[in-house]
Amino acid sequence: MHIATTEEEVQEFVKTCKSREQKVGFVPTMGALHSGHLSLIDMARSHSDVVVCSIFVNPTQFNEKADLDNYPRTIDADIIKLEEVECDLLFIPEVDGVYLEDHNPKRIDYKGLDKVMEGAMRPGHFDGVVEVVARLFEIVEPELAYFGEKDFQQLAIIRLMVEQLDCEVEIIGCPIVREANGLAMSSRNERLNREQRQQASILHATLQAMKDLVDFLNPDEVEVWGRAKLEELDYCELEYLEVAESRTLQPIFRWKECEAARAFVVARFGDVRLIDNLELYNSTSS
């Protein structure tokens, strides 16, 4: 595996690949890699000729400095994991290597996607996401880019960004990878103690139970039921639980009025903020 630390090194590598008519797949990450990230590399490997991964803890998408400071950094272990899954190039830039002195952040019309859930709880967060992903696409110039569905709202916004900025890249959403107890894999899980890690499985268990109620209750009733289940727990601090249409992320009132709907949840276990989602309804499979 090649390791690059500058834009010039990445572009030289990619230029060589494209001269050989090799399709470049890209997996942007913030490091602290786990099986979920590695599943994205595997997906890229199966659909691309060359796989590029980046590790960059992007400061512009953090609302809380403590969250940025505490974000796990495990670069040596990450390199070993990427070598094991046969990643071709790892890009590890410094902040000033991504945001140059004359950097002009990209902005898009979110069409309301930034007004709900994560956008409402973390003002400006998606500006940082758009800024860094657009910049990384400029550097890597991939044909394909892979993102996990755990951050489903982020995925929707990146797809919108690609459309509005005319980025010549196809966005591939990849299924959530879960631990044995159902907990969605996340770099933040490393900050949970053993008891919290087990307790946090309640998020997926609640979402799954909500899905089982779709045939009996309307969306707002399912949402209220799920919220009540989590709010009664003393070890779980619920930030939000919402049922929304999968494309617009707007609330729905009847299942039949949309093609697909998901439940989205964020809660804290101690000082660790966890996110999860699950498709509850799909008209093509109902």
Q: Which residue has the tokens 């403590």?
A: 66
Burial (CB < 10 A; 0-12, 13-18, 19+), residue 102, is: exposed
**Cα dihedral across residues 269, 272, 273, 279: positive or negative:** negative
Of 2, 34, 37, 47, which one is the catalytic site residue? 37
Cα(64)–Cα(157) distance, integer angstroms: 21
Tell which residue, 217, 212, 208, has the closest CA to residue 254: 217
37 is catalytic: yes
Q: What does each C-alpha distance from 154 to 80, 148, 149, 150, 172 come to in angstroms?
A: 28, 9, 9, 9, 13
> 93-98 — which CB contacts under 8 Å span 24+ positions?
93/5, 93/6, 93/7, 93/54, 93/56, 94/5, 95/59, 97/5, 97/6, 97/7, 98/56, 98/58, 98/132, 98/135, 98/136, 98/139
Q: Which residues have a catalytic role annotated?
A: 37
